[in-house]
Structure 1
Amino acid sequence: MVVTSGVPQGSVLGPLLFIMFINDIGNNLESDFLLYADDLKLFGTNPDSIAKDLVTISSWCDNWQMTVAPNKCECIRFSHMKKYAKLRPPALSIDGVCIPSTCLIRDLGV
């Protein structure tokens, strides 16, 4: 198997090498985030900061020859105030693809 960049899938050291490789992706993010293997979740109260972080993530991926799958991205809004729940969700996009808003997100890592 020829791999020009990244980590070969199925290798014994693959998961460890990938974690070491991707570990600095959050160094320049304004929002809080959780990183688990190849999943990244952003948390924030400011949609503008989240939008900026999406650009930062996209640039990081371009720099390191990785791709983001916008079709696997979702946005969810949490609020304890009903008036905020009725507001239109923020317009977020990555690589020009709009990230859909949802009321339920499946976490496949669990």
Structure 2
Amino acid sequence: MKRILVVDDAAFMRLSLKTMLEKNGYEVVGEAENGRKAVEMYKMLNPELVTMDITMPDMDGIEALTEIMKFDSKAKVIMLSAMGQETKIREAVIQGAKGFVVKPFKEDYLVKALSKF
């Protein structure tokens, strides 16, 4: 069972992700509502995977990804983005993201994307 940290500023999205992931055999070990909290929780929890929203207040997903990669160059972070954020997705991949899923997404697509890691 993979241990996952879910990062999104929208509480309903964190709940949706947690429900989908747990239903498919993943263990959600933590949730963060912004990038700053995500970096803190990553260091504390050492999850095997992170789902990271790109657009968040305080510290966005790309900044958080960059900080996590400095701390752990082997981190597996999957970015979640809205349609039309191709430039940010490209930047995230350059910074070390292992993949991305475009919102809105279907449960089976998310699980398939995460199962590669």
Task: Please report the TM-score for the alignment, with normalisation by the length of structure 2.
Answer: 0.36
**Higher-Rg member (1/2):** 1
Structure with more strand by fraction: 2
| Structure having greater relative contact order (Cα 8 Å, sep ≥ 6) | 2
Structure with more helix by fraction: 2
